[in-house]
Amino acid sequence: MTGREVEQVLLHAAEAEPRIRFYDHWIAVDLLLESKITGERGRPVRADRCWGAYVLAGTHGPVVPFIARATFLATGGCGKVYLYTSNPAIATGDGIAMAFRAGARVANLEFVQFHPTCLYHPDARSFLISEAVRGEGAVLRTLDGDRFMERYDPRAELAPRDIVARAIDAEMKQRGDKHVLLDLSPIKRERILERFPTIAATCARFGYDITAAPVPVVPAAHYMCGGVVVDLRGRTDLPGSTRRAK
């Protein structure tokens, strides 16, 4: 909710700026390179230049060239290559792929951070249950009620994300289960509703009362730690193209 409020303020400010135009539901397809315009093939990437992007106009529209002196890639990661992710549906790695095809360097793509507790539900594959819930006392259990985190780390549920996510994944694979359970019973009902009203309300929409019974959770792809290589000013190898960090 904090991030949503920040985003809304920024969007309202951008919408009020007459020099900014929005093209909702238009999808970038590829970078517009000088070598493609001139027909020169094999030009070294640093000798080439980005002059904008080719963009698909809506769902069934034509591909339109957008000409620009500077092109910013702000397309997020590729969380949607995973079944469960906190990322929105548009996080399909397009920006990284476009930069790679244009010859820019990419690095550390194998480093993807997983959030341990995403709600397990076919219609809620991007809803995270905050780690603050475990900080308040919630525990992780297998489907038969076994609390397992103490076997993996002395910090149990308060271990770092990577340890908790791997532990959940290991339990699921060993047992053949599709999820584990997050048990909030150690937290008083009033405290749950006071501290986590959005989580409680969202889970209730999917049929789960987090104050009365454990909820099913799975690890979900969260942050992509790698991406397009840039310098300290955000510039890629390709002149005219920059990559904005997430």
Q: What amino acid positions are annotated as catalytic residues?
A: 161
Whole-number Å distance between alpha carbons of 113 and 214: 25
Q: For 41-47, which contacts have Cβ atoms below 8 Å and span 24 or more sequence positions? A: 44/103, 45/102, 45/103, 45/104, 45/237, 45/238, 46/237, 46/238, 46/239
Reduced to 3 states (helix: H, G, I; strand: E, B; else coil), residue 140 is: strand
**Strands 106-107 and 227-228, bridge-based pairing:** antiparallel
- C-alpha distances (whole Å) from 130 to each of 118, 209, 219 are 9, 16, 12
Reduced to 3 states (helix: H, G, I; strand: E, B; else coil), residue 100 is: helix
**Cβ neighbourhood burial of 161 (10 Å; 0-12, 13-18, 19+):** middle
Short-list 154, 76, 169, CA closest to 115: 169
List phi, psi (to 5°) of 179: -165, 175
Whole-number Å distance between alpha carbons of 84 and 169: 12
